[in-house]
Amino acid sequence: MNPGATAAGDILQPGPLPNRLQLTPEGRLRHLLTVEGLSRELVTEILDTAESFANMNEKAVKKVPLLRGKTVVNLFFEASTRTRTTFELAAKRLSADVLNINVSTSSAVKGESLLDTLRNLEAMNVDMFVVRHQESGAAHFMARHAEPGINILNAGDGRHAHPTQALLDMFTIRRFKGDFTRLKVAIVGDILHSRVARSQIHALNILQTGEVRVVAPHSLLPAQVQDLGVQVFHDLEQGLRDVDVVIMLRLQRERMEHAHLPSEHEYFQLFGLTRRRLHVAQPDCLVMHPGPANRGVEIDSAVADGAQSVILQQVTFGIAVRMAVMSMVMGVGGA
């Protein structure tokens, strides 16, 4: 592969050994590209560091000076208001300067390669890139070619990984449930196309979760998904029985056009989370969703807004988790 000719739309494959890129020789975070391969101790350290930032909303001044003088670039080739906004807030609460690049109006659309984009922004003396890209491996590519001292955070790449989403989900579960080893967790929906599900599965297994389930129709499950360390269910009520946490995934409407599913209505009838279906789970089962939720497709509004839902808490905790990751990759620790 000629990296100089790699354009934003080209397919980029993640490296086989991401930890060689994302960890220092001492085992500290240099970049965050994937949760796959991280140690339980390091994931726990990220969550513990996030705890030190979690109560900043209650303070009169919601800032700490840990990244003062640093510049963070949000480089989003895919639109995502929630993820970009929480990364921006996290950086600003660490006192960093933030630059948001609107790729849809940038030279990348005119055919500039991803490497050219990286080099031009590096010339502006920035310190960190938060990268979201439609192709798997884009963040790994940037990490391989970034100048020393520049940190890369993966904000979602293709179907591959969304590490900070998985980490904020783990933080949310730990806040409400504590010990992962006693938990049964079900991930429900479009597992096949979901980078979030892949990262969640890795994170749950790293934290030694008692049982990890995936629940989906055959057409929305990857081949050999059980090799990831999950139990597979094709019936929602069976998959939800006695679980402590259920994570619903967004059904991507574009998949309907490729005949993966006959209709949204039929999907909701079979796999939509309703109060009645939730009754087979534990009485205090948490309901989670990475957002944005399609109400009436994967989840009923009564459940999304119900007492067991922690969907809004996920958003709040996402800021603390992203603050933790940013501070750790730059070697400055917690609050």
Catalytic residues: 82-83, 110, 132, 162
Q: Where are the beta strands (DSSP E) in the chain?
A: 71-76, 97-102, 128-133, 151-157, 184-188, 211-215, 231-233, 245-248, 286-288
CB 98 within 8 A of CB 126: no
Residue ranges of the alpha helices (H) in 123-162?
Answer: 138-145
**Cα–Cα dist 231/292, whole Å:** 26
Closest among 250, 249, 257, 190 to 219, alpha carbons compared: 190
What single-letter DSSP state applies at residue 217?
-
Q: Which two tokens stand for residue 80?
A: 């995502």
**Cα–Cα dist 286/249, whole Å:** 14
Q: How far is CA 289 from the centre of its chain?
A: 11
